[in-house]
Amino acid sequence: MTRPTIMTALLFSLLIGLVPTGCGPAPETPKTSTEERITVVATTGMIADMVRSIGGDSVAVTTLVGEGVDPHLYQPTRDDVATLLDSDLIFYNGLFLEGRMGDVLDQAGKDRPVVAVAEVIDTTQLIHPEEEEHVDPHVWLSPDRWASCGEAVRATLAGHAPEQAETFQSNFEAWTARTGELTELGVRSIGSIPPDARVLVTSHDAFNYFGQAFDIEVVAVQGISTESEAGLADIEALVDLIVERKVPAVFVESSVPRRSIEALVEGAAARGHDVVIGGELYSDSMGPAGTPEGTWEGMVRHDIVTVTKALGGTVTVTEPVQEDQPS
């Protein structure tokens, strides 16, 4: 996604100003509205979606890491640096999700607030797998944890534009109410999966918070960062688990190569157990813009529904409940 920078907007407005007045009314330029809006850069789509939900029309948000792109491995481009240095506020996940962006975020932080939304979560609420160097950064896959991160966005926006603090507060409250509905959907749906099949096998270890929120065991080929390579021993151990527990389905992720999951399917087949690929989950990246999965809520809903159906559970509600239904 690209957006004209402030410099482009200024240049555009200067050029418009040079048009002789005799040519009729000057076309309305986006200058005023753009300049009044708070320019925000978000590293991931999930953060951008949250900032839009809370900031409403007052924010113009640019996302750095696009659809289907892996944030663990993302290297900022020269254009990204220019966009960061042209913004009012920057939100990133933190907890080492953006492992290769530390330097540019430090540089940008000299002149504007740069907020790591996941680092406001109380450390007792974070998951730190024993074998990992860092805490698990994938907090957006738990609606409750993500709601905590939203509070950091609300407070930062209110600090930047105090006159709009009430609007941000009411947007935040409406958004947190929706995160509560998502938790209910997940608990109910995942809870309907037969207990033996309630294990979520993915390529990298992004679903620990999802598993904690909705009560499903989570195992992955790779660690919490895609920087770590899957080894043959990891594959064999997981094939053992799949065969022994007769796991019906495993899952690929939209931002991670499929080969390790395909190796699991082949390994289980060689042992006489047919496990299928139950679908593609959105772990570190949302779906295409303009589709339901192109929002944070839609991506989590998609993951809940896909996992539930593939593992033999029942999704009772797939659409938001209408408040004005006749009783």
What is the full DSSP assignment across 296-317?
Answer: HHHHHHHHHHHHHHHTT---S-
Taking the complex as a whole, the smallest distance from the CB of residue 111 to Zn ion amounts, in Å, to 29
Q: In the complex with Zn ion, which residue's Cβ is closer, 87 or 254?
A: 254
Nearest to 244 by CA among 273, 278, 202, 203: 273
Nearest to 183 by CA among 147, 207, 153: 147
The yes or no reply on residue 280 touching Zn ion (CB under 5 A) is no
- Single residue of 284, 293, 297, 303 touching Zn ion by CB under 5 A: 284
Q: State the number of binding residues for Zn ion (CB under 5 A).
A: 2
Taking the complex as a whole, the smallest distance from the CB of residue 302 to Zn ion amounts, in Å, to 17
φ/ψ of 123, rounded to 5, equals -60, -25
Q: In the complex with Zn ion, which residue's Cβ is closer, 38 or 200?
A: 200
Buried b (16+ CB within 10 A) or exposed e, 44-63: bbbbbbbbbbbbeebbbbbb
Q: In the complex with Zn ion, which residue's Cβ is closer, 157 or 250?
A: 250
Q: In the complex with Zn ion, which residue's Cβ is closer, 83 or 208?
A: 208
Which 193-222 residues touch Zn ion, going by CB under 5 A?
A: 206
Taking the complex as a whole, the smallest distance from the CB of residue 25 to Zn ion amounts, in Å, to 51
Taking the complex as a whole, the smallest distance from the CB of residue 204 to Zn ion amounts, in Å, to 5
What is the full DSSP assignment across 89-124?
Answer: EEEE--TTSSTT-HHHHHHHTTSS-EEEGGGGS-GG
Nearest to 192 by CA among 310, 304, 301, 314: 314
Q: In the complex with Zn ion, which residue's Cβ is closer, 98 or 176?
A: 98
Kindly write out the interface string for residues 32-71 of this chain, putting x where it contacts Zn ion by CB under 5 A and - elsewhere: ----------------------------------------
Q: In the complex with Zn ion, which residue's Cβ is closer, 54 or 206?
A: 206
Nearest to 70 by CA among 203, 182, 213, 261: 203
Taking the complex as a whole, the smallest distance from the CB of residue 26 to Zn ion amounts, in Å, to 48
Q: Which residues bind Zn ion (CB under 5 A)?
A: 206, 284
